[in-house]
Amino acid sequence: MTTVSNMNYELSEEMQSLVYWSSIYSPADQHIDSIRAAYDAMCLHYTLPRDGTVDVEDKIVPHDMHPVNVRLYSPLGQAPAQGWSCVVYIHGGGWMVGNLDSHEFITRYLCRDLNVAVLSVDYRLAPEHHFPAAYEDCEVVYEWLKQHGADWNINTDQIVLVGDSAGGNLAAALAIQLQHTANQACGLALIYPSLSGCFENESCQQHAQAPLLSVEDMHYYLKAYAPNTQDWQDLRLSPMLAQDLSDMPPSFIAVAEYDPLSDDGRIFAERLQQANISTEFYLGKGLLHGSLRLVRDCPVVQDLYQHMLSSIKQMLK
């Protein structure tokens, strides 16, 4: 699995720093435990200590077969009479790495900056758990939240799905499945999402050896999560293949310029717009895959973040 690449990219100081620290935290070997330990250490590097600006509580969403661990971030103070609006955050990590701690660099701040509850989902990971385990856990959490969210002071009519990378895949897949039901989310926000098992579009060719995520990496992650390639045609894994997007929620999609996945987000945004879904597309100029963790340090990522905040606020009106 590739970690960094010395291609001829003109990277900003912030992107060079991201590549450097990703190399510092590279795994000792290719065992999944080593990969996860390195990823966790890298995430911790970008996560500030909690400062008491939001309430944080770990909870469990019940399920007969597979209860799901979640983390609930709530604004300080009295909840509105209808409960807090809520962002369901689904973390990235190639369906293989990441947990409730890995994306606290963003989840805490979404709670504070939007003044909404944020529910982070600790879905089952590959290779121990293959497709559709991760998807099913996200679906269980969402459906439980729609039915029982009031128990946690959450307004069940005001839920936005948000995810980055593989988490963007899961969020988009869930929104696809929620079409033409009474339970559709009121918004969808995706950051450099992986949306199909096809790696032949222009961005995959142009950025096949991009730093931090190569096409080889993408194959590695996808095969670990979905070893049966027939599953790559399933809309729960490849939401890009959906023919009907007529009942998708208002959407925000951001991509990184130097990322083999950038066409996934761009094409999906175009298709949503063609289906008359209110959709904002943001191209992060000069950004690499994974750059969201520089939200406090990189002006372009901060700009992306502010656009996402603005879009989510519109979704929750």
Q: Where residue 242 sits, what CATH number does that domain have?
A: 3.40.50.1820
Q: Can 22 be counted among the known catalytic residues?
A: no
Q: How far is CA 129 from CA 67, 125, 137, 143, 224, in A?
A: 14, 6, 11, 21, 9
Residue 311 lies in a domain: yes
Q: Can 259 be counted among the known catalytic residues?
A: yes
Q: What is the pLDDT of residue 8?
A: 76
Query: Could you tell me which residues come within 8 angstroms of residue 103 by beta carbon, excluding any fewer than 6 positions away?
Result: 43, 89, 91, 92, 120, 164, 167
Residue 8 lies in a domain: no
Q: For the chain, what is the domain count?
A: 1
- The active-site residue, picked from 12, 74, 120, 165, is 165
Residue 64 lies in a domain: yes
Q: What is the pLDDT of residue 60?
A: 98
SS3 label, residue 267? helix
Residue 67 lies in a domain: yes
Residue 6 lies in a domain: no
Block means of pLDDT (10 residues each) for the chain, length 317 residues? Answer: 55 96 94 96 96 97 97 96 98 98 97 98 98 98 98 98 98 98 98 93 94 95 96 97 98 98 98 98 98 96 98 96
- The active-site residue, picked from 85, 194, 289, 311, is 289
Q: What is the pLDDT of residue 317?
A: 86
Q: What is the value of pTM for the model shown?
A: 0.96
SS3 label, residue 255? strand
**Bond prior to 132 in cis (omega within 30° of 0):** yes
Residue 1 lies in a domain: no
Give the range of the structural domain holding residue 116, as residue numbers without chain letter: 13-315
Residue 2 lies in a domain: no
- The active-site residue, picked from 164, 217, 259, 263, is 259
Residue 154 lies in a domain: yes
